[in-house]
Chains A and B, each alone.
Chain A
Amino acid sequence: METLIQQLINGVTLGSVYALIALGYTMVYGIIQLINFAHGEIFAAGGYIGVITLSLLNSRGVLESHPVLGLALAFLLAMAYCAFLAVALERVAYRPLRKASRLALLLSALGMSIFFSNGMMLCQGVYDKAYPTQLYATGQFTVGGAVVSYIQVYIVAGAVVLMVALNLFVNRTRLGKAMRSTAQDRTMSALLGINANRTITITFVIGAILAAAAGVMVGLYYGSVRFDMGFVPGIKAFAAAVLGGIGNLTGAVLGGMIIGLVEVFAAGYLASEYKDVFAFIILILVLYFRPTGIMGEQVDDTRV
């Protein structure tokens, strides 16, 4: 029982991270039908800016005197940086291809993914960069014998706050409305006076902000960042977005949680080395019986 609760906690933590990344995928897909492969690298860039900010503050002694302020600054700077990065990415690699084939767009994204991860390697080196904090040791409590550390609580709470904020933004604001209408029919909404390019840029920025937050959280949680840290979580998060029904925000969160839980339970009760296999098998099974994902609507007849 104790082990079961512990595994649930592990799975929800991991799932929150996947969900945050998956939201970015699903938003971009919803609006321009692109698998943004470089999204994982934006997530990694967020982790890097987090470690750079915290190291700077730590070396000036600020982190010790104002830890909360320091962390807030790390998150804000990472988000701002990733927003800049995402705008550049969209402008350089995706906007010129608005009318090109889907495959060209996809390969452009793949190219940017390789470019960014190697760029980060050249800038910051191949070694892991250690977060200067000891956040894993900030204390913990037990629930029914299972250990929960505060950092896990922060991650899940942070993810929930960001998801709720995103939901409100998309459903309650004018910009959100513009996003939804552009996603449904770009030409029509352009005719109605919605600037499609600007709306798409905003979508990228929001996705990047969520990924940046996830990047800093992961850096704090695992204690280090690395130039290639974005690739595998990127693929998993993409699978999560598809599993939930791509283009659907609630679906992305649900998908992220399912992938996180499946992985942890497969590692804990079956075989750890096959955990990714189980995650993908679940994905394939769901898509076989529900070809548009758990919460997805019927997609267009799309082709390459």
Chain B
Amino acid sequence: MLEQKILGIKTEALEKIRSVKDDAGLFEFEKMYLGRKSEFTGILKGLKDLSPEDRKKIGELANAVKREISEASEAKRRELKNAGFDLESERIDVTIPGKTNGYGHLHILSIVQREIEDIFTAMGFEIADGPEVEREFYNFDALNVAKDHPARDMQDTFWLKPEIQNPKSKTQNKSEHILLRTHTSPVQVRYMEKNKPPFRIIVPGRAFRNEATDATHEHTLHQFEALVVGDSVNVGNFKHIAETFFTKFFGKKLEIRLRPSYFPFVEPGFEFDISCTVCGGRGCPSCKHIGWLEVGGAGMVNQNVFVSAGYKRNAYQGFAWGFGLERLAMMKYKIDDIRLIESGDLRFIRQF
């Protein structure tokens, strides 16, 4: 009996709420169905007179209905409120540029260097460093480039004044020059003096060549050197690591081509090319229709270099390779003038 009454109130209320049109109507509605003097409240008040079983049963029902009516009332309140809000009047032009906080740009060489470092460190290479102002010994003698050897002509050197007197010098000549390193290779010997194989390292860093600058030549360059030494590291291993690296770096499958070359610190020595990153080797203007791009130099570490570093001759074998970051960056981003790189020009820097 009571149950039906409750359900009846519910049906009536839910029917009624649909016709509420304004706040006054809603006030009336709430007063009628939820107010202190409403029939429904009266029922709830009377629950205490019922038997415990009925009280539980009816109570649950009454509370559920009350909740349902309150929710319907709340929903109506929101509906009335939202209807009064003129969203259209707030329309804005969303094509007006946003307000930015601005952010800075890393230099292109930093970006390229990181990409390279990340690939190599993922392969377990350690990053090694060495001085940019270097002793003649580490830059040349220890790398098997003898004094007065024409190979020293291959790399035009910035020398510093004056010559230093170094009684501890390992060269026959006790007076030794200091210079701006012409490559990152001196770090090979410096690292090997302190570490025993097996190891694999990379050496990113600044190097200097005393040559006039033009669109493709810069006297200040950034090199990248890798050195892997162990018991049986071989030419095939070099090819594999080079392929893996360049494929990852350029994001496409590339091949490596080795050509004979001469660097005193390696034997055998190579020049290495990668298949053209644009045409994949078929030939196009980027690779001058050769299908290959010249990237850098490499080779199997000359045993004399191991000896300079204090290893026993023929105890180890390994490979070393190096290339220029500028060249790689220019290849990747199609930059046509190397001088932009150290120009400090924000019109250039902000493009990357």
Q: Do A and B bind each other?
A: no
